[in-house]
Every structure is written in C-alpha cells, then in structure tokens.
Amino acid sequence: MKAYKDMSRDELLSLKAALEEEYRTAEAKGLSLNMARGKPGASQLALSMPMLDAVNSTSDMKTILGNDTRNYGDLDGIGECRRFMADMMEVKKDNVIVCGNSSLNIMYDTVARSVAFGVNGSTPWCKLDQVKFLCPVPGYDRHFKITEVFGIEMINIPLYEDGPDMDLVEAYVNQDPAVKGIWCVPKYSNPTGISYSDEVVRRFANLKPAAEDFRIYWDDAYCIHHLYEDQQDNILNILEECEKAGHPDMVYIFASTSKISFPGSGISAIATSPANMKYIMDQMAVQTIGHDKINQLRHVRFFKNIDGLKEHMRKHGELLRPKFEAVLDTLEKELTGLEIGTWVRPRGGYFISFDAMPGCAKAIVGKCKDLGVVLTGAGATYPYGKDPKDSNIRIAPSFPTPEEMLEATKIFVLCVKLASIEKLLEE
C-alpha cells in the first residue's frame, strides 16, 4: 500500500471521492454501535451467573475463623477473601485490605485522605500551595478526573511500549517535592495495552522521592486479564521491589473483580505496607462500619482459589479474543502501510489504543459518531481531556459482539482514512 503522505493531491482527491461514497453507504445503514467504555459483554456476564448461587439461604455464613459475615466486623475484609485477593494481586495476605465494590473508589478515597489528612502524618495536601501528579499518557480518564477535582496539577509523561519515560519520572520525583504521586496501570495498560518491563518496575522501586509523601498509585486493574493462554505478560512485584529498595511504603496497589465477576457488584482491594495499612484502617474506621462481607464470601465460595480464578479468566479471554482480533486484524488489513495511524497489539486488558495522524483524533471520533459508532471522546486519555497532538483514540472492544466489532472497526478505518486525507489536503 502507498502511504497517504506520498500520494499526489489528485490521488488523494480521487481516493477521497471513493471513501465518501463508502461513507454515504454506511450512513444509510443507520448503525448504533458502542466502543466507548470497557464494559464486559453479555456472554462474559453469563460466566459469573453461578456465583449468585454460591451463597444462598441454606449456606453456612461463617468465615473459616467462625465470624458471621452477616453482621458487623472484619473491617479489613474476611480472612479467606484477603487471601484470595492477595493471591490474585501476587502479594501477601497481610498486605491486603479488602474493600467495597470499586477500586476506583479506593483510589479516590486514598487521594481524598491525603488531601484532607496527609499521608502517614505528613502535611495534608489541602494545606500546600502546590501538589502535582505525574500522568503517563495516554492513560485512564477516571484517574485523571480524581486528581483534577482535587486541584492537583497533572504533568504528562510519555508512555512507551515498556512503560513510562523513566528518565522523566526520576527527574520529577527525585527533584520536585510537590510531586506526590504517579498514576500507573502497569499491566495491559489502559488504553495502550502495554506492560511495564522489569527494568521499569525496578526503576520505580528505586525512586528517591523529594517528597516523603510521594506514592506510586499502581492500578493493577488487569492483573489476570489475559487474552491468550500462551502469551501472557508478567510484571515484577512492585511491593516486593519497593521493600528490597528500602521504600516499603512507597506504593499502593489497587485491584478489583469488576471485570472478573460483575462490574459494580465485585470486590476491590488495596495492597500496601503495614505502615500504610495502619494509617488507612484508622481513617476507614471513621468512614464506614465495614464492607459487604457476604459478597466477599460469595466470591471466595464461587472462585474457591487462584486456580478457579485463572480458569474463569481463561473463559473471559476466549470471549474477548475474537473481539480484539476483529479490531486488530481489520486495522492491519486496512491501514498497514498507509502511515496514517499506529497501534499496539495487546495481549490482555480491555483496550486498543490508536494513534492517528496529529490533528485527526477529534475528526475521526466525530465522523464515527455521525455514522452511529460511539467511541471514547478524543482527548479523554489525557489529563484535562486535552491531547496536545489530538491523536489518541481509545477503542473498547469488549461490549459488542465480534460481528458488531468487525462492522464498527470497518467504519472506524473508513473515518480514519477520510479524516487523514482531509488533513493532508488542508496542508
């Protein structure tokens, strides 16, 4: 295929005419497809339906230690669920607090707590003139929204295929005491799908923060969300690496079963050092009397252990794989060689990230919308919703069927082509 940039104006104009014809045909179809959010599809939800029988009216509602899950108690989660989440997060049970139905809520609370009360005794951030967070980009819009509402200044850090630009991370963290945190999705990153290399994890663990209250916000949202059995990303254990490096308190790890059991009806957890846990638990004791322990019991009784969980995730992978492949194969078939976009082929997670020619993302999303295909808003993957290059688009293949994904992706590439030609003709 000839790269668009090497085409003559006439070639572009003639191609544009042909694409516009395709566009009108697509428009006539009146499609309604959504690739906007990482929602599990109906077949995935069906996988977890038997979980709703795992605890019923005849169940023994006591934990292994004999605590009644139906009553108050076990603020840090029931023992067997702490074990279960620890195994999933590859940490020790003693480092885990099991919380409510949303890891996003734990992240929000963790930032909110730091703003109001400080971090393990440091000055509350609300008393400081300036608080900054590093934001590897493209990243997760809901992370950025949390730091935004608290008025925390966000600094873009380029995200490469092996992780964030660590030279830049080190420069900021080790020199600027206003830098209090960094948002990370270390495995099957949202949205690019990349996983951090061992070297990147080690460099994280060996940061020498200028701020004592600097923390790594390690959102391990996709820790066991593999697409393939034989090609799985593995990342180093950041908590262990931080301990080794003499910074046991430097990281909070977050995870949930939102995309394992049911979004909104799963369980979430935070894994961190004993000192951090104590500080969190002291605050949490004021915030709530406890989390939903029956749901914790339901999860453990259903999944049984890490092996049960892995088998369950294998089934999720089987359902997701054709959807990802429908997108990726179409992108490859239709766009390879045209030099109007790049993407990474992820081995897990929930997203595919597409980098269009600079200045084209908004136009592509707009055209898709006009044809009935809803994408995440352009810019959403950047702090303040501002993609400086107007280039990145997040594709969420999980919710539609594989057939719908194929149809939606055909629309997507059509719009990429058209928007790119329009851009080139403008120049």
- Is the separation of the CB atoms in 357 and 335 below 8 Å? no
User: In this complex, which beta carbon is closest to its own copies, that of residue 98 or of residue 340?
Assistant: 98
Is there binding between residue 43 and its own copies (CB under 8 A)? no
Is there binding between residue 398 and its own copies (CB under 8 A)? no
Smallest distance from its own copies to CB 69, Å: 8
Pairing of strands 392-395, 373-375: unpaired
**Stretch of residues binding its own copies (CB under 8 A), selected from 229-237, 261-269, 340-348, 418-426:** 261-269
C-alpha to C-alpha distance for 308 and 88, rounded to whole angstroms: 11
* Number of alpha carbons in the 13 Å side-chain half-sphere of residue 74: 26
Is there binding between residue 262 and its own copies (CB under 8 A)? yes
Choosing from 33, 104, 326, 364, the residue that interacts with its own copies (CB under 8 A) is 104
Choosing from 83, 132, 226, 291, the residue that interacts with its own copies (CB under 8 A) is 291
Is there binding between residue 283 and its own copies (CB under 8 A)? yes
C-alpha to C-alpha distance for 262 and 9, rounded to whole angstroms: 51
> Of 330-369, which residues contact its own copies (CB under 8 A)?
none
Binding mask 308-337 for its own copies (x = CB under 8 A): ------------------------------
C-alpha to C-alpha distance for 375 and 132, rounded to whole angstroms: 30
C-alpha to C-alpha distance for 305 and 338, rounded to whole angstroms: 48
359 Cα distance to chain centroid: 25
What separation in angstroms does the CA of 359 have from each of 6, 327, 392, 400, 419?
Answer: 18, 22, 10, 28, 9
User: In this complex, which beta carbon is closest to its own copies, that of residue 120 or of residue 197?
Assistant: 120
Smallest distance from its own copies to CB 43, Å: 12
Structure tokens at 124: 């509350």
- Is the separation of the CB atoms in 173 and 140 below 8 Å? no
User: In this complex, which beta carbon is closest to its own copies, that of residue 149 or of residue 281?
Assistant: 149
Smallest distance from its own copies to CB 333, Å: 31
**Stretch of residues binding its own copies (CB under 8 A), selected from 21-29, 111-119, 175-183, 361-369:** 111-119
Choosing from 95, 257, 258, 391, the residue that interacts with its own copies (CB under 8 A) is 258
C-alpha to C-alpha distance for 262 and 256, rounded to whole angstroms: 10
Q: Give me the phi and psi of 215, to 5 degrees please.
A: -135, 150
Smallest distance from its own copies to CB 417, Å: 32
Is there binding between residue 126 and its own copies (CB under 8 A)? yes
C-alpha to C-alpha distance for 414 and 333, rounded to whole angstroms: 12
Binding mask 60-89 for its own copies (x = CB under 8 A): -x------xxxxxx----------------
Is there binding between residue 55 and its own copies (CB under 8 A)? yes
Q: Give me the phi and psi of 191, to 5 degrees please.
A: -110, 0
Is there binding between residue 376 and its own copies (CB under 8 A)? no
Is there binding between residue 175 and its own copies (CB under 8 A)? no
Is there binding between residue 92 and its own copies (CB under 8 A)? no
Choosing from 37, 321, 410, 423, the residue that interacts with its own copies (CB under 8 A) is 37
C-alpha to C-alpha distance for 68 and 276, rounded to whole angstroms: 27
- Is the separation of the CB atoms in 51 and 298 below 8 Å? yes
Choosing from 294, 332, 358, 403, the residue that interacts with its own copies (CB under 8 A) is 294
10 Cα distance to chain centroid: 43
408 Cα distance to chain centroid: 22
Residue among 367, 395, 335, 427 at smallest CA distance from 2: 335
353 Cα distance to chain centroid: 12
Is there binding between residue 301 and its own copies (CB under 8 A)? no
Smallest distance from its own copies to CB 46, Å: 9
Structure tokens at 206: 């060996």
Contact residues for its own copies, defined by CB under 8 A:
37, 39-40, 42, 45, 48-53, 55-57, 59, 61, 68-73, 100-102, 104-105, 108-109, 112, 115-117, 124, 126, 142, 145-146, 149-150, 258, 262-265, 283, 286-295
